[in-house]
Amino acid sequence: MRCVLIRYHEIALKGKNRPAFIHKLKDNLILAAQGLGVSKAEVLMGRIMLSLDENASWPRLKEALSRVPGVANYSLAFKTDLNLEELKRQVKIKLTDVKFDSFRVRASRAYKDFPLTSPEIDREVGAFIKEFSKARVDLKKADLTVFIEILPKMAFFYFQKEPGPGGLPVGISGKVVGLMSGGIDSPVAAYRMIKRGCRVVFVHFHAYPFLDNTSQKKARELVEILNRYQYSSRLYLVPLGEPQRQVSVQVRAPYRVVVYRRLMVRIGEAIARREGAQGLVTGDSLGQVASQTLENLTVIEEAASLPLIRPLIGMDKQEIIGEAQMIGTYSTSIIPDQDCCQLFVPKNVATYTSVEEITEAEKALDIDKLIAMALEGTKLVRIGPGGERLSSPRVAESS
């Protein structure tokens, strides 16, 4: 019977986390494999087995599983009774049309009471394959490896291990709010957190109707791409144009970007409270632009009470681009848009500000009112396998 064996890194699993990790991973595998012919998922001695329907398509399933955080590696495998003769017979059938000049057998036993040791299994199955194939055994550089796993009531064989993304199953580490522009960096930052087991709720600030709605379209599209890793998402679309306009009237030009960012952080926090999220994630990378100097990052962070998480802080742009290409967000991120950060922003942004200067500048503003105004116009889009659903949530005002 065809099945998939999923393996996870034991090292991440200390003590009480273990059952929760395995449970979550199993649930997520079922979500990832929806509609792809998986009839059952079972936990079996340190691995998860997915049973496949006859019409399951391995290439499609392989692609979906390659993106499930928590998966170390996985294999398309064949399950047999715990009977070496039966296993040999089935290996021979599977290898009928396969050409190979050299091979090796790699057995492992989770069931230690099996009468043969792993090297004995290697030798016995190896001799059998040699006999019918006439290929030679090569332990170092074989054309074909036959992996065998022995469990208490069943045996498996397979020929390949596919790498998974590693990391932790989505949901095991809690929830965070990801501040997502339409740019290259923020989707990569969100992905990094998803891979470490967080569920990311997205917040996008736009300046519609001051600017067009391309950035919102991009944000929706980016979230849809990230759903390959977390299956369904919530995206808050927050209008920041009018608050930005008011800031531009009251605050000196060089300070505006930092003041906008502090507004974003505060609004993000109001949404985090509504969502029960435990941190805010941004795509900041040190020194990339004026708002990302240590000084300005510190001033922006001062507006937050939740942890501000910046997974990309030590990465170069080129490395971030590489990762964006790998996760599939890059081509959407580079579509030109009208980002709210371009609104009412001067050429000369202050590279170094201080908390004192900025809090002084903010005195001219009614911050709570600006936050309330933005939240008032906020829309929530739920993006899942069934498409998009839009609503107008009530997000409690700050404090």
- Residue ranges in contact with ligand ATP by CB under 6 A: 179-181, 183-186, 203-205, 264, 282-284, 288-289, 291-292, 339-341
Residue 230: name its binding partner from ligand ATP, Mg ion, none (Cβ under 5 to 8 Å by kind): none
- Complex with ligand ATP: residue 48 or 327, whichever CB lies closer: 327
Helix pair 214-230, 185-195: axis angle to 10 deg: 20
CA distances from 4 to 50, 110, 243, 284 (A): 5, 17, 52, 39
Task: Provide the 10 A C-beta neighbour count for residue 396.
Answer: 11
The alpha carbon torsion through 299, 302, 306, 312 (nearest 10 deg) reads 20
Number of residue whose CB is nearest Mg ion: 183
- Minimum Å gap between C-beta 314 and Mg ion is 18
- To the nearest whole angstrom, how small is the minimum distance from the Cβ of residue 194 to ligand ATP? 15
Strands (E), the chain: 2-7, 38-44, 47-52, 73-81, 102-109, 136-137, 144-150, 154-158, 162-163, 175-179, 199-206, 233-239, 280-281, 308-309, 379-384, 387-391
Residue with smaller CB distance to Mg ion, 80 or 215: 215
User: Residue 186's binding partner, choosing from ligand ATP, Mg ion, none, with beta-carbon cut-off 5 to 8 A by kind?
Assistant: ligand ATP
Query: What, of Mg ion, ligand ATP, none, does residue 279 touch, CB below 5 to 8 Å by kind?
Result: none
Nearest distance, CB of residue 128 and ligand ATP, angstroms: 57
Taking CB atoms, the residue at the shortest distance from ligand ATP is 183
Q: Which does 275 bind (CB under 5 to 8 A by kind): Mg ion, ligand ATP, none?
A: none
Task: Give me the least distance between CB of 185 and Mg ion, in Å please.
Answer: 7
Of 29 and 263, CB closest to ligand ATP: 263
Pick 133 or 181: Cβ nearer Mg ion: 181
Q: What is the DSSP letter of 398?
A: P
Nearer to ligand ATP, 185 or 362 (CB): 185
Which residues contribute to the site for Mg ion (CB under 5 A)? 181, 183
Backbone angles phi, psi at 102, to 5 degrees: -140, 155
Which whole-number Å values give the CA distances from 191 to 167, 187, 289, 382, 384, in the listed order? 11, 6, 22, 18, 17
